[in-house]
Amino acid sequence: MSGPDLSALGRESSWEGVRVAVGGLGVSGFAAADTLQHLGAEVIALDDGDDDALREKATLLEILGVDVRLGAGSTASLPDDIDLVVTSPGWSPDTPILTEAILRGTPVWGEVELAWRLRGEGSAPWLAVTGTNGKTTTVQMLESILRSEGLNALAVGNVGTPVLEAVMNPDPFDVLAVELSSYQLHWSESISAEASVVLNVAPDHLDWHGGLAAYTADKARIYARTRAACVYNVQDPVTEHLVEEAEVQEGCRAIGFTMGVPAPGMIGLVDDAIADRAFIAGRVSNAAELGSIHDLAPVDGEMPAPHLVSDALAAAALARAHGVSARAVRDGLRSFRPDAHRIADVARIGGVRWVDDSKATNPHAATASLQGFEQVVWVAGGLVKGAAFDDLVLTARDRLRAVILIGADRAVIAEALARHAPDVPVVEVDTGETDPMDRVVETAASLARDGDTVLLAPGAASMDQFRNYAARGDSFAAAVHRLRDRA
């Protein structure tokens, strides 16, 4: 017997009789289970975890009528007669419950796909952002620009607030800045953004996707069905190729952003000015000034890091595709402040600058971070997730005063340094303790000279020694402050 016609179900439909399995009770999973139960579906929520936070969520959902199954084995098999699976973005495609659903012919959606299908009449358009690095910064810049135009806008998705929560908000937004990870895009099939961008593509999460080609293909999904503008990075030809291959809606334009002087159809830089030659009349011979790179909240008078400028250009292109004024771009970038642990100045001690970029959790992000400074004592290491560091070392070796390595996979980075930068001093810190940061900071202070930057940009994940990248950055900052107080 055939199941319900899911394509006909929306936010005004009755979902009564539809059995949905929600995989994972993280932020997005909880939002999905709560929303689907509210719409009348019969919801079974599954999670192999069983800690206090999950039990608290389970209690709330059970009160609402959701069947919650926690603990080891809860996700071993798909319950019978399931019409739809809504999966956590963290669950890889080879998770048994998902492969079982696919074998049965049961649709599998992510929370973002569900959100798209539940938009109401006249719902807010999406300005969608993905890429290996810079997603969160770009959507937060975009939100700031949109709000400077007077729009009721919100940055959502992988950035924190679930897209579903924003879509179901009883007070509708004018526009959403949507950060989408490759995980979320993998399970999306009908999203049609007003404008979309792939900021960059570099190897990451290859274990989840099964290889670089599959990872890139999932990033490319963001361009499918885009209505107004597919934005690409002129410095990353892969992103332009993805636009060329995308099946978009009629009238959609390809818009480049570049750190160089923009050609017609691009946004870029003329000296320090952000110049638009894409969204103005007479763009063949003219440009509109959208502000200056100095509007990007430089710290202590420093120039903004190149990747911060690149993210700003992408955000400006998406905002202009939505019709935002040049003034709003300028004002939005002026009011933007980066998140903690993203090129965050910690202190100046003597003539040395200490910077926390703990959020640089892969080599591509660490490379971008290193390029923002002239002479660096680089603190790196952690869980490298199969990544290679040869390209990073080749790019950054002339900037390296010294390198301090921590973490389980530090040997991978040490070997790349030995191959390509044998003259750079390397110190491995293995204290035998969970948190090595006091030793790291003391060592860095002994190696740094006046004018240098000590940069925590690990290029690796943190979970071998810390709860997450934020805890790693906090530990680094605390150790720097202890050093300053002793000075």
Region 433-451: mean pLDDT is 90
Give the pLDDT of residue 269: 96
* Residue % of the chain over a pLDDT of 70: 95
Of 150 and 136, the one with more pLDDT: 150
395-413 pLDDT, tens per residue?
999 999 999 999 999 999 9
Q: What is the pTM of this model?
A: 0.80
Query: Is the pLDDT reported for residue 231 higher than 50?
Result: yes
- Residue 208 pLDDT grade (very low, low, confident, very high; cuts 50, 70, 90): low
Contact of 403 with 424, CB cutoff 8 Å = yes
Give the pLDDT of residue 207: 61
Q: At what angle do helices 363-370 and 306-321 cross, to 10 degrees?
A: 110
CA triplet 454, 341, 258: central angle to 5 degrees? 90
**Distances in Å between the alpha carbon of 380 and those of 135, 294, 302, 449?**
22, 29, 23, 19
**Distances in Å between the alpha carbon of 279 and those of 161, 264, 301, 465?**
30, 9, 31, 47
Region 354-375: mean pLDDT is 90
Question: What is the SS3 assignment for 427?
Answer: strand
Query: Is the pLDDT reported for residue 209 higher than 60?
Result: no
Region 263-276: mean pLDDT is 95
Domains belonging to the chain, first-starting first, are 16-106 (3.40.50.720), 115-335 (3.40.1190.10), 344-486 (3.90.190.20)
Region 284-310: mean pLDDT is 81
Give the pLDDT of residue 337: 82
Question: What is the SS3 assignment for 198?
Answer: strand
CA atoms in the 13 A half-sphere facing the CB of 407: 28
| DSSP string of 310-330, one letter each residue | HHHHHHHHHHHHTT--HHHHH
Give the pLDDT of residue 203: 67
Tokens of 139: 């959507």
Give the pLDDT of residue 1: 44
- Residue 206 pLDDT grade (very low, low, confident, very high; cuts 50, 70, 90): low
Question: How much is the mean pLDDT over the chain?
Answer: 91
The terminus-to-terminus CA distance of the chain in angstroms comes to 75
Region 36-43: mean pLDDT is 95
Contacts of 124 (CB under 8 A, 6+ apart): 166, 172, 173, 174, 175, 176
Give the pLDDT of residue 432: 64
Query: Is the pLDDT reported for residue 355 higher than 60?
Result: yes
Closest CA to 447 of 356, 376, 399: 376
The conformation of residue 242, written as its DSSP 8-state character, comes to: H
Contact of 136 with 159, CB cutoff 8 Å = yes
Give the pLDDT of residue 464: 87
